[in-house]
Amino acid sequence: MEKTESAGGVESLTILGTGPAGLTAAIYSARANLKPLCVEGVQPGGQLTITSEVENYPGFAEPVMGPDLMTAFRKQAERFGTRFFQGNVAQADLSKRPFRLLMDDGREILTQALIISTGASAKWIGIPSEQRLMGKGVSACATCDGFFFRNLDVVVVGGGDTALEEATFLTRFAKSVTVVHRRDQFRASKAMQDRAFKNPKIKFVWNSVVDEILGEKAVTSVRLKNVLTQDLQELKAEGVFVAIGHQPNTALFRNQLNCDETGYLITQKGSTYTNIPGVFAAGDVADHVYRQAVTAAGTGCMAALDAERFLESGE
Ligand code: NAP
């Protein structure tokens, strides 16, 4: 079977997203001569483009900047013939093949196979200082950035499993960790709560939200507001970890593909197959557990191999 772009403007394989999952899928499928079309989406390069140094991506003895790592992924994908397409998909019709993607500027892509690697986006508090100090003390990933807060005071915002897991993890580095939660009860599992309550480095501020993150060039403190009394207090902190959940970028597909209750795509065990033959999912869009660049890249590779076998089978 001809593996390259099919006749009549129908792509063999289209990949949505250019984070570690999408670009790894592109590298593998381009090397398999599928000439993939990779749609860049709203945040080219994905979540790593908003982190600073990456120290845990295997193969780099020295830290690498997140945006530089993604540029290298992209160049590698280009070298084997990946074609990049700038734009956002507004509608997807997966009811029959070729699948049809309609871009928000009216362009259309028809494709025999589709890899969805649109990622997940961290939810943010939504105050301007949070955006201004992003990567300068504000982070949404303790695993990525915790190491930079050795012997410093940090705040974790949220009351779910992620917040308490990140708070516990951060105690390995930080001098103190203060969990700020908007209610007086956590929604995290009991085991996670017990572990956090027992940790002498973790303090708790209840019924409070972050009103402002303060600091000129980097975070120096946070202003907290008690939601019951409206009282304000300032707390010294060099780091603010926002852990109020992630949102998988699956809005386009929720009525066509099987998703869990929070919207993550469900894949068949041990593969990247979704419930629609020819549609594959890779990376954070289908993973709320690991959420690492290296695991996303791993599932991107799996998706490319699954798509290649699917196209070869001529199903
Ligand atoms: P989550 O369970 O949705 O919790 C989000 C937390 O952030 C809640 O406590 C919520 O407060 C708070 N929050 C939401 N929006 C906020 C805002 N605008 N301002 C201040 N606080 C806000 O999210 P998650 O902790 O990321 O967990 C997601 C899923 O992954 C869950 O099913 C969780 O069990 C799972 N998970 C499991 C593990 C594990 O088992 N090791 C680890 C991490 C995550 P309220 O409580 O008031 O709503």
pTM above 0.85, yes or no: no
Q: Among the atoms of ligand 1, which is closest to the Cα of residue 181?
A: 21
Asked whether residue 213 is assigned to any structural domain, the reply reads yes
Ligand 1 centre from 179 Cα, in Å?
13
Check 141, 211, 259, 306 and give the catalytic one: 141
Last residue of a domain, one of 215, 242, 269: 242
Q: Which of 207, 242, 277 is the last residue of a domain?
A: 242
101 in the same domain as 87: yes
Q: How many domains does the chain have?
A: 2
Which of 3, 28, 58, 9 lies closest to 272, judged by CA? Answer: 28
The DSSP code for 134 is: B
CATH number of the domain bearing residue 291:
3.50.50.60
Ligand 1 contact, 195 CB (< 6 A)? no
Same domain as 15, residue 153: no
Measured in Å, residue 281 CA sits from the centre of ligand 1 at 23
Residue where a domain stops, chosen among 216, 242, 268: 242
**Same domain flag for 169 and 118:** no
Between the CA of 125 and the centroid of ligand 1 the distance, in Å, is 13
Residues spanned by the domain of 111: 7-122+246-313
**Active-site residue, 301 included:** no
Distance CA 285, CA 19 (A): 11
Q: Is residue 2 part of a domain?
A: no
Which residue type sits at 72? A
Whether 1 is covered by a domain: the verdict is no
Whether 141 is catalytic is yes
Ligand 1 atom nearest the C-alpha of 164 is 25
> Active-site residue among 38, 144, 259, 301?
144
Per-residue pLDDT of the chain (315 residues; tens, 9 = 90+): 334 444 459 999 999 999 999 999 999 999 999 999 999 988 888 878 766 678 889 999 998 988 899 999 999 999 999 999 999 999 999 999 999 999 999 999 999 999 999 999 889 999 999 999 999 999 998 888 999 999 999 999 999 988 998 999 999 999 999 999 999 999 999 999 999 999 999 999 999 999 999 999 999 999 999 999 999 999 999 999 999 988 999 999 999 999 999 999 999 999 999 999 999 999 999 998 898 999 999 999 999 999 999 999 987
Whether residue 150 has its Cβ less than 6 Å from ligand 1: no
Going from the Cα of 123 to the center of ligand 1, the distance in angstroms, rounded, reads 10
Q: Is residue 178 a contact partner of residue 154, using CB atoms and an 8 Å limit?
A: yes
Name the residue of 195, 213, 244 whose CB sits within 8 Å of the most ligand 1 atoms, as the mutation to test its pocket.
244
Phi, psi of 118 (to 5 degrees): -85, 0
